[in-house]
Amino acid sequence: MTVLLIESLATTEPLADLFSDDAILQAMLMFEAALACAEAHYDIIPKSAAEAISQAAHPGGIDAAAIIHEARLAATPAAPLVKAFTERVRNINPTAAGFVHWGATSQDICDTALVLLLKRAQPILEHDLLRLEAALQRLAEQHAGTVMLGRTLLQAAGPVTFGLKAAGWFAGVHRGRKRLTTCFNETLIVQFGGATGTLAALGKSGVAVGQKLAQELGLSYPEAPWHTHRDRLAALLCACGVLSGSLAKIARDASLLMQTEVGEASEQIAKCRGGSSTMPHKRNPVGSVEALASANRIPGLISSFLASMVQEHERAAGGWQAEWPIVAGVIQATGLAAAAMAEVMETLTVNQERMRANIGATRGSVFAERAMMLLAPEIGREAAQKIVEEAVHKSLDQNRQLTQVLSETPEVKKHLGEETLRTLEVPEQYLGMADEFRKRLLSSATEDPEGPNRNRGKE
């Protein structure tokens, strides 16, 4: 399927295919075929009817445009689809037509179809998230000792390592993926309740048929139908929201590092990628832009879903009907962000020399805290802070290194030796627990059997 132009920055081709008309119709017809098989298994309908229904359950020849038109007349696409499908079954076996959709209701087919689409979406999202985790893990390991400026409130601060930054990105994605997996597992359940959620039309066989239906579709069977209880879907979308926020945090950091005047990282140079319609020199952070755009859209969509959760009694008037485009939008936006950031991080160029140069450009002012902490035990914290603060101002005013100014300060010379001052501005000596924290962040994957290295060594 070709992605619609208006959705070109809102989805990926695999996810656009997943939510295409054919895919949705196929999922709905899968429900009808599985229901017929489950009911035939318990002799509720004839086996010959189930065979005819299964034979007819494919989207080929179904007029999607007509279904869409008639859906507005019924406030559900299920009613016109069941009508058209019944006629198709009638052409195969007239008697079987009377057993189509037996004991089910419109929301059963729609909700289960949506769940079947989500089941297909899960491995698509997981594939790109695992790619991203693996790329971030490699960056964190390769750049364990790559020093760079830490930045707080967008201003230069003490040194960190790019390995620590990448490990932080990795851990956020890893937690988000695990959270998403849990929510998918809770959401992949069949919907089968009949008219009022009691399956009264099936007598005492309702639960058995529902369980068989779930088995046929590869879904779990819930405690009871969930027509107006949308908490599982809500939790899944909220997990997507949190994950997309983590992806966008990476995108924001990366795009800031890619600014021309910073120049510490860049996306891969490729034909037609990152270019400008008017400025040939541009190298735009397009992958990060796609992830940020997705993260901008998702919170509003989730808010709409949460508002639609207030559903009346046994069947909603408006709440349930609002959900399909919301769910599709959130899943596709999350998938786009994951795919975009996986591509960025798999090919990211890290400019270690520029990182070190940017530390040097501060004239040592980012080591003021270190100087203060060395002086404080000797003369007290307040006195040390005052001396170092004055030295920093003088250093910046005179465009001189902080250590030069400090070495001319009597109180500093009295308490700090030449060797201490000489190495004051060596970033590797003021990294604290950076590498320990990097290792701890990465350890979550090695302890997780579903982590990005789960298949390493099995080839």
Any idea what the CATH number is for the domain that residue 69 is in?
1.10.275.10
pLDDT band at 454 (very low <50, low <70, confident <90, very high): low
On the question of pLDDT at 8 being above 90, the answer is no
Domain holding 388: CATH number? 1.10.40.30
Confidence band of 196 (pLDDT split at 50, 70, 90): very high
Which residue segment(s) compose the domain that 305 sits in?
Answer: 115-189+226-361+433-459
pLDDT, position 154: 94
pLDDT at 285: 87
Residue 458 confidence (pLDDT): 42
Say if residue 356 is in the same domain as residue 374: no
For helices 206-217 and 21-41, the axis angle rounded to 10 degrees is 130
pLDDT over 50 at 279, yes or no: no
Residue 194 lies in a domain: no
Confidence of residue 269 (pLDDT cuts 50, 70, 90): low
Query: Based on the domain organization, do 182 and 261 belong to the same domain?
Result: yes
Same domain, 32 and 179: no
pLDDT (mean) for 270-278: 49
The predicted model gives 3-21 an average pLDDT of 91
Q: Are residues 128 and 57 in the same domain?
A: no
Does residue 37 belong to any structural domain of this protein?
Answer: yes
Same domain, 170 and 319: yes
CATH of the domain at 164: 1.20.200.10
Contacts 24+ apart (CB under 8 A), 453-456: 453/134, 453/137
- pLDDT the model gives residue 445: 77
Q: What is the pLDDT of residue 447?
A: 65
Binned at pLDDT 50, 70 and 90, residue 373 comes out as very high
Of the listed 276, 381, 422, 454, which one is catalytic? 276
Decide if pLDDT at 282 tops 70: no
Give me the catalytic one of 252, 315, 354, 356. 315
Which pLDDT band holds residue 449 (cuts at 50, 70, 90)? low
**If you average pLDDT over residues 245-266, what whole number do you get?**
97
pLDDT for residue 350 is more than 80: yes
Query: For the chain, what is the mean pLDDT?
Result: 93
pLDDT of 69: 94
Which sign does the torsion angle of CA 16, 18, 22, 27 carry? negative
For residue 438, name the pLDDT band (cuts at 50, 70, 90): very high
Domain assignment present for residue 196? The answer is no
Nearest residue to 125 (alpha-carbon basis) of 280, 286, 210, 11? 11
Instruction: Tell me, yes or no, whether 91 and 161 share the same domain.
Output: no
Is the predicted pLDDT of residue 459 greater than 50, yes or no? no
pLDDT at 19 over 50: yes
Q: Are residues 233 and 340 in the same domain?
A: yes
Q: Tell whether 210 and 237 lie within a shared domain.
A: no
Residue 315 is a catalytic residue: yes
Is the residue at 195 inside a domain? no
Counted domains in the chain: 3
Question: In this structure, are 181 and 311 located in the same domain?
Answer: yes
* Tens-digit pLDDT profile for residues 61-75: 899 999 999 999 999
Predicted confidence at residue 1, as pLDDT, reads 53
34-67: per-residue pLDDT in tens? Answer: 999 999 999 999 999 999 999 999 998 899 999 9
Distances (CA, A) of 410 to 6, 367, 379, 390: 68, 19, 13, 13
Mean pLDDT over residues 415-432, rounded? 94
The pLDDT of residue 278 is 53
Specify the pairing of strand 155-161 against strand 265-266: unpaired
- Give the global pTM: 0.92
Mean pLDDT in residue range 87-95: 97
pLDDT at 141: 98
